Structure 1
């Protein structure tokens, strides 16, 4: 594994996109600087390595693999080079992705800590970091989950899209590396008494060996549009369900239980 193979790896990745200019625009990297990366005359910093890897659905370290090994990896697992603006008209109609449906979601743009209690870690709360932003006229998301004390997996990343349904928000996500582990969340908009919270239910496929279908209560806590990313990421971890570092109101809303008066597994508001 060597940074010497990075230029060739980047050139290979760009061959899956429409053009180098389009790839740079989608990633948000200056075309002239990216060309230097591909020529090997300049090395990207860690933040740009992560942005490039996220865009193509790869892990950071995979970009630095020896080129022959990287080419084999890509031939088996074709990189994801998403361009949401290329969605077909039929899909746009199905999801009601119009300018009128996107406009109400602009107030949701920013960073969030998201919370739920995963099946794989009984009695624990997972806090992740989700970035919701506008891209090509749509509201999309990048979600990062950290498991620093789990030797099996350290980080999970998801790409998603937001859809407004009038009185609810729908978020569809897929795990960014190989497109497994889909999740569908239906969220209530902000409440007057808790204006910083989005809460609802999420349904998807777990990471456990059995890959069970699971439904969780989920809360997204708004952090702002301009935040200290390092500090926000340091807070992403697994916590005990009674850990006082997690807001008690959030803990109440994500508990995996059905109370006697509840006829089904419902969101807590």
Structure 2
């Protein structure tokens, strides 16, 4: 499953260390399979993963991982995986407030929330880098912070701080998924800010012509050479694929060739 997606993204040929991979998930599509494949690739390389779960739970990623041949719970026990389940922390904080107890320190006003979340992430990635040379920071889904009442400005500031970790922590790579709903100006603005600082942009969309039994959606991969001089034949290189999601794998293929895979 992971091999075909990673090949389409080009990370089987280029080192993803120090790079930000942005996954923009358009309405009526699901880009989560890209994150699962990148996590599987990192585990295969004997790297570590710091998962910031804002949409799917850690249990969801564990269940998918078992289908891909690895066990996130065991890796977590070995100190190779760290997770931050933000919604769970929020629930604990609200329950503590209701019962007049001292809750976690993550939540306060929106500025402090973003600052505290960043420092929590920074501490966990530093801990992982002490154990293994390669660490992937995976954030799913950045746009959910808007649903918590955090402003676009604060979320973009948080993203920029996470981006600076790539320079201060050698061996780190960053994967960020954000959802885009048609007509949602805040999500559109957030996605524009994410893509502006990304090295690789993966755009996952549903089919414009409707649903198909052979194709689940389209995936466009854009490589932006932020760290190299502009080269005419490589700059902003784009590749368009179709994909089919199956229970234990995903097939990636050129548009118009779906029937050749049956």
TM-score, with structure 2 as normaliser? 0.28
User: Whose Rg is larger?
Assistant: 1
Tell which has more relative contact order, 1 or 2 (C-alpha 8 A, sep 6+).
2
Higher strand fraction: Structure 1 or Structure 2? 1
TM-score, with structure 1 as normaliser? 0.28
Higher helix fraction: Structure 1 or Structure 2? 2
